[in-house]
Structure 1
Amino acid sequence: METQALDFPKIDAVLRANGTGEVTINGTSHAIEAADEAAVLSQTLRLITETAVQLGRPVKVNTTDPDGQGLIIVSPEGTVSEAAPAKAAPHRQQHAAPPKGRAAAPAPETAALEEQQTTLAAAPATFSAAPRTQEPATTPGTTAAEPRIRSSLKDTSFLISAPALEPATRGWRGALSRLGLKMNPSAEELAEREDVRTVSQHWPGPRTVAVVNRKGGANKTPTVVMLSAILARYSGAATVAWDNNESQGTLGWRTEKGAHDNSVLDLIDSSQTLLSPSAQAAEIARFVHHQTADKYDVLRSDENDEGDHEVTAEEVDIAHQVLTRYYRLIVMDSGNTARAANWRRMIHHTNQLVVPVTAIEDRAEAARLTLQTLQSRGGHDAELAHNAVVIVSESTDARHSMTGDALKRAKDEARRIADAFTPHVRAVVRIPYDPALVNGPIRYDALQPATQRAWLAAAAAVAKGF
């Protein structure tokens, strides 16, 4: 069918992340909007098939979706297939022209290569469960000096360790797979599958993540919420987000409130009961606030009107001991004072450091100084800084009124800051702007698909440190 398809007419089919599509035939654009992706794909293929019917032959279609680009063939009968990649012209080494009337002999290295390829192509492929040893050649009337040595069955297995690759599920590749042409996933889809696998794993023993930046407005609380939500959703591990602000934090303002007003101080007061051998797992619910959609709990900071209590290092130890009894993962929000006793004790318990920063100069500088402070302390603190994950979010300042040029500058600034941190930490991830992260309670499902994907990559980078 492909040999009948010509480059005319020029057809481009686009599937966008927002669920809309567009088909352009020789410069004439047809916008496509439908209830869901399946309907968009159906309308797209209908337009292309109608063009093939009018021409009486298959047509080539350049496809574009969030995962990349491709080339397919659509027949007048509506049959869809993937176009074979263009074959590169064989590279021939230049040699001097042979004398007139004589055929040119191949260069020695070329002849050897062609002979080797011919031999390999002619030889049948063989498979064996285990390597066999070379048997010595014998002549008629003689016997081998020693019997053939057999390999151990311990070194042989018929099990296939690598899982089968599932067909593509997204974009044009996914559409073709659903039509019966099983397509391999794109590089982007494979990367997402790997991130899902990483955040879905369980790890031995509890893990503590500290989210730190000495500057306010650096996106600490949204980072705590998103990491907690993704890791809890995918891994199923009991997860708690703990507001370890030395006085009053804002984590409770950005998350759901339970049917009580208890905070970290109430948990500390009841620590002996919660740590007793007779305590039951469900008792922790009296002190934390469950997030019904995102499947993690929140331990709020003290919110009394006087605000006269500062959490001590000893209280951090007690709360951490309680939480590791009931949770596999603790994600800690923090205040802005790296010298505070509770901040330093939090670092003592930390397994993975996360440094969020909005793409604004002073926030980035504060993040750098935070890492520098930990590095200067040496030991465990310096190791955390070296293996930190930096999460750079695009600026939200006056975003709703930004022009196209201003938006590009914001992205460029986020990229510049991310590139500057890259040589100094284990991983750097950039997060696009999303209005769902600006005000009110934060929900994973409220984010745009591109933002969800970026936070999944961030959570995978964090989980790799477990």
Structure 2
Amino acid sequence: MSVGAAPGWDRVHAVVREDGSGEVHIGGIPYPVYMTTVGQARSEVMRHVVEHAAAVGQPVAVSASGPEGTSELVVHPNGDVQQAVAFPPAAPADTPFPPMPDPRSPAVSQGPAVPSPVIGNPFPPQPAGSAHPPSAPERDRRSFLVEERGDDPARHGMRGVLSRIGVHVPPSAEERAERADEAAVAQHWPGPRTVAVVNGKGGAGKTPGTVLLSSVFAAHGGSGVVAWDNNQTRGTLGWRTEQGMHDATLHDLLPQIDHFLGPTAQLADLAWYIHHQSRDRFDVLRSKPMVLADEQRISSADVDAIHAVLSKYYRLIFIDSGNDESDPMWLRMIDHTDQLVVATTTRDDHAEAGALLLEALAARDPRSAELARGAVVLVSQADPKATPAEMRKVARGYRSLAREVVTVPFDPGMVDGRLSLRSLRPATQRAWLAAGAAVARGF
């Protein structure tokens, strides 16, 4: 269906390239996109457009260019996309877009992507009448192996009620967005992935971030997820998770490294050293917070050894880090990291510490700079009195520093005691799912 574009609507220019890169120009500001496939880039571009449409509260006129050509679209705040038949006058042809930076440059950063419906291909298919049209049999025959599948019926809200009584109702835009995030965290990638949750200030939310991200990936992607407390100074991961039938820590595992890297070791043997979370289905490798740091010092070589074992037996490793960014243990963790997550609250000192950390990593070496550019920032409302405006302020401040920013509302279930994803409010669980999807998009 085509629709006319009203003169007062904002005009957005979007470009997607065959290598998975692209950009969105909103209000003259370019937002770069760096993905691995054209389809992923299109979805990421449309996330930016839908976010902008929701922010201005009205449809947005989009000139979208891709490998197959250019199309004029109207994107609505709820994620609906329609073909446009008329647009307001475009900018003069001789007005160039700002030059886009090289994605390999340390200066490149990308704004946050907000969870939104997975949009179908907004770019037009190759027009009919090509130079080599298919023969009649090729054009008419449909493969027996191709099976198109629409959306499953709605599960939530009134739509879900109707579906349960036999009326097939498609999911809402919000539910489609949730399903897209579930699909993102449910993937299995070739080879293990390591995620480090960092901030140089204590109390910034590193441990809740480690626990709840581990829970999200285990809940939707299955087993093979471990959380590791890589902390010299009283790491609290063990205090906020379920204890197994023993009190073993990583210090008990270290003398057994050669065994677990050898050919006779079995995954079940690790049960003597890790603590399984019976509700949230992931494992925890604890530190020993009851002992002074100088009595349990961990070296860079120890970090290498532990990571080698966990990489052998787990597909996803989430690391809860300490506060000393100069510690060789902390720096070696960064060398093993595939995805960086900065945890912060709305407190100014937490937010500033996280920003300074990203800037320091950007100057450390090329690989650390790449981690910083691709970081995900989690802004938690740890203080129930913090306002939405304060959350938005911190999120905006990280737009130029990280790939994505996700905000998490206040939840009393995150304040003290043992953490469990299923014990949190539905809105909080949804926010952590969005955070997991943001992490998954970096793998």
Same fold (TM over 0.5): yes
- What's the offset of the Cα at 1:426? 1.0
Once residues 141 and 341 of structure 2 are traced to their aligned partners in structure 1, the CA distance between those partners, rounded to angstroms, is 44
**More displaced, 419-428 or 448-457?**
419-428
- Preserved contact between residue 382 and residue 415 of structure 2 (Cα < 8 Å): no
Q: Does the alignment pair 1:250 with 2:236?
A: yes
Residue of structure 2 equivalent to 1:284 = 270
TM-score for both structures, normalised by structure 2:
0.67
Kindly report which structure 2 residues correspond to 1:35-434, keeping only aligned pairs within 5 A, or say none: 157-160=143-146, 162-303=148-289, 305-307=291-293, 308-396=295-383, 399=384, 407=385, 410-434=387-411
SS at match of 1:357: strand
Structure 2 letter corresponding to 1:429: V
Q: CA deviation at 1:395?
A: 2.9
State the shift of 1:304 in Å.
5.1
Query: Partner of 2:400: helix, strand, or coil?
Result: helix
**Contact 2:186–2:222 (CA under 8 A) maintained in structure 1:** yes
**Aligned counterpart in structure 2 of residue 438 of structure 1, from 398, 415, 424:** 415
User: Does the residue aligned with 1:459 lie in a helix, a strand or coil?
Assistant: helix
Structure 2 residue runs of 5 or longer lacking an equivalent are 1-84, 86-127
Over the matched positions of the two proteins, sequence identity in percent amounts to 48
Return the offset for 1:181.
3.1
How far the C-alpha of 1:425 sits from its partner, in A, is: 1.2
Residues 154 and 201 (structure 1), Cα distance of their counterparts in 2 relative to 1, 3 Å cut: farther
Q: After superposition, give the CA deviation of every residue in 1:155-196 in whole Å (9 maximum; x if it has no partner).
A: 963444543211212112222333443222111000000011
Instruction: Tell me the CA shift for residue 281 of structure 1.
Output: 1.3
What secondary structure is seen at the aligned counterpart in 2 of 1:356?
Answer: strand
CA–CA separation in structure 1 for the residues paired with 2:409 and 2:244: 30
| Cα pair 1:359 1:410 within 8 Å, conserved | no
Structure 1 moving runs of 4+ over 6 Å: 131-135
Distance 2:225 2:442 in 1: 16
What SS does the aligned partner of 2:370 have? helix
Q: Indicate if the aligned counterparts of 1:264 and 1:300 stay in contact, CA closer than 8 A.
A: yes
| Structure-2 change in CA distance of 1:153 and 1:433 (3 Å) | same
Name the CA distance, whole Å, in 1 between partners of 2:333 and 2:281. 24
Superposed displacement of residue 151, structure 1: 6.3
For the 8 Å contact 2:234–2:291, the answer to whether it is kept is: no
Contact 1:247-1:301 within 8 A present in 2 as well: no
In structure 1, what is the Cα distance between the partners aligned to 2:373 and 2:163? 43
> C-alpha root-mean-square deviation of aligned residues, in Å?
2.4
* Per-residue CA distance 1:93-131 (angstroms, 9 max, x = gap): xxxxxxxxxxxxxxxxxxxxxxxxxxxxxxxxxxxxxx9
2:112 maps to none
Q: C-alpha separation between the residues in 2 aligned to 1:286 and 1:153? A: 61
d(CA) in 2 for partners of 1:207 and 1:318?
16
The 1-side partners of 2:135 and 2:379 are apart by 61
**One-letter amino acid matched to 1:296:** F
CA contact (8 A) 1:206 1:324 kept: yes
CA distance in 1, matches of 2:347, 2:257: 41
Q: Tell me the distance in 2 between the aligned counterparts of 1:410 and 1:243.
A: 31
Contact kept in structure 1, 2:236 and 2:289, CA below 8 Å: no
Give CA deviations for 1:238-282 in whole Å, capped at 9, x if unaligned. Answer: 111000012321100001111112111111111011111011110
Distance change in 2, residues 1:306/1:172 (3 Å)? closer
Measure, in 1, the Cα distance between the counterparts of 2:388 and 2:214.
Answer: 26
SS in 2 for 1:418: helix
Task: Describe the shift of the 1:174–1:315 C-alpha distance in structure 2 as closer, same or farther (beyond 3 A).
Answer: same
Identify the structure with bigger relative contact order (alpha carbons < 8 Å, sequence gap 6+). Answer: 2
| TM-score normalised by the chain length of structure 1 | 0.64
Cα displacement string for residues 207-266 of structure 1 (whole angstroms, at most 9, x for unaligned residues): 000000001110000000000011011101311100001232110000111111211111
**Contact 2:346 2:394 (8 Å CA) reproduced:** yes
**What do residues 345-382 of structure 1 show as CA deviations (whole Å, max 9, x unaligned)?**
00000000000101111100001011011001131100
| CA gap 1:374/1:151 in 2 versus in 1, 3 angstroms | farther
Unaligned runs of 5+ in 1: 1-90, 92-130, 136-147, 400-406
Local SS of the residue matching 2:318? strand
Greater shift in the superposed pair: 170-179 or 307-316: 170-179
SS at 1:323's partner residue?
helix
Q: Which amino acid aligns with 1:186?
A: S
* Amino acid across the alignment from 2:437: A
Q: Compare CA radii of gyration and give the structure with the larger one.
A: 1
Q: Is the 8 A contact 1:202 1:237 kept in 2?
A: no
Q: Would the alpha carbon gap of residues 270 and 161 (structure 1) be closer, same or farther in structure 2, given more than 3 Å must change? A: same
Specify the code of the residue in structure 1 equivalent to 2:170. N
Equivalence for 2:52: none
Distance 1:179 1:152, change over 3 A: closer
What is the number of residues matched between the two proteins?
Answer: 315
User: Within 2, Cα distance between the matches of 1:133 and 1:427?
Assistant: 40
